[in-house]
Amino acid sequence: MRLANKVAVVTGAGSGFGAGIAARFAAEGARIVAADLNDKAGQGVVARIEKAGGKAVYVHADVTDAADVKAMIGTALKRFDRLDVLVNNAGYSHRNQSLIEVSEEDFDRTYAVNVKAIYLSTREAVPVFRKQGGGCIINTSSTAALRPRPGLVWYNGSKGAVNTITHAMALELAPDKIRVNAICPVISATGMLETFMGKPDTPENRAAFVATVPLGRMSTPEDIANAALYLASDEAEFLTGVCLPVDGGRTA
């Protein structure tokens, strides 16, 4: 197993990419702290992991709240005695619309979930990693950071910040043997699909987006989980500061 004896915290683990990552990591031997705001969804992910023979615990966490994030990292230490991998996966976006029509509330929430949350979780995890002699951080970014779309200006900017933060963190934390990478997924049929499209989820509207992906389909949680598994594994021990597109050639 590629993550045997490792402990991973996954935010936004109740659905979409986070649920896929949590399940894949658990199947490869990791013990999982699944964090989410949706208790029913998060607990469901943990139940499915345990039913499959894995080990996981759910924690309710608002990733923009310092106390919740502290408790989230603390749960890994209390339940599993260590922390090896932190996956900053929770994400938020304003609806696809004119940049001047996005509300201040949506703007603030986009940057709080996509950017501030990384600051808060890093502040809690890095001292643990330093004490243990190393660790791994994976940030979920987006192709929006590499090839921005009109209508998602402020979301694009938040993910651009994720990529810059990832590069800078990788450089600063390298002496501590803490690797920091990001994954940049193309659009996926997750709960945020209509938000990104800014229009109803119809076969015709999906087809228009799929037409921009050379490999001819959207990404899936399994695609993102497989990439995260590699970055979290010891096979990637010499990779840091990478922002990896998982996009079917969209940004090539």
pLDDT score of 110: 98
Whether residue 155 lies in the annotated active site: yes
- Report yes or no: 159 and 147 within 8 Å, Cβ to Cβ: no
pLDDT score of 158: 98
Q: What is the C-alpha to C-alpha distance for residues 161 and 115, in angstroms, rounded to an integer?
A: 7
Number of helices (H), then strands (E), in the chain: 9, 7
Beta strand residue intervals within the chain, DSSP E = 7-11, 31-36, 55-60, 85-88, 135-140, 178-185, 243-246
Considering 58, 92, 111, 155, which one is annotated as catalytic?
Answer: 155
Q: What is the C-alpha to C-alpha distance for residues 97 and 94, in angstroms, rounded to an integer?
A: 8
pLDDT score of 201: 86
- Mean pLDDT computed over 206-212: 90
The model's confidence at residue 94, banded by pLDDT at 50, 70 and 90, is very high
The first and second tokens of residue 201, run together, are: 């989820």
CA atoms within 13 A on the CB side of 109: 12
pLDDT at 205 over 90: no
pLDDT score of 84: 98
Tell the burial category of 81 from Cβ atoms under 10 Å away from its Cβ (0-12, 13-18, 19+): exposed
pLDDT score of 109: 98
Q: What is the C-alpha to C-alpha distance for residues 65 and 61, in angstroms, rounded to an integer?
A: 8
- Report yes or no: 186 and 250 within 8 Å, Cβ to Cβ: yes
Q: What is the pLDDT of residues 140-173, one digit of tens each?
A: 999 999 999 899 999 999 999 999 999 999 999 9
Among the listed residues 183, 246, 184, 252, the one whose alpha carbon sits nearest the alpha carbon of residue 217: 246
Q: 187 forms bridges with which residues in the sheet?
A: none
Among the listed residues 42, 38, 90, 32, the one whose alpha carbon sits nearest the alpha carbon of residue 64: 90
- Mean pLDDT computed over 189-202: 83
pLDDT score of 197: 79
The H or E element spanning position 109 is: helix 104-111
- Report yes or no: 72 and 35 within 8 Å, Cβ to Cβ: yes
The first and second tokens of residue 14, run together, are: 């109740």
For the chain, the average pLDDT equals: 96
- Report yes or no: 26 and 46 within 8 Å, Cβ to Cβ: no
Quickly list DSSP for 128-153: HHHHHT-EEEEEE--GGGTS--TT-H
The model's confidence at residue 112, banded by pLDDT at 50, 70 and 90, is very high
pTM of the model: 0.96
The first and second tokens of residue 164, run together, are: 């810059």
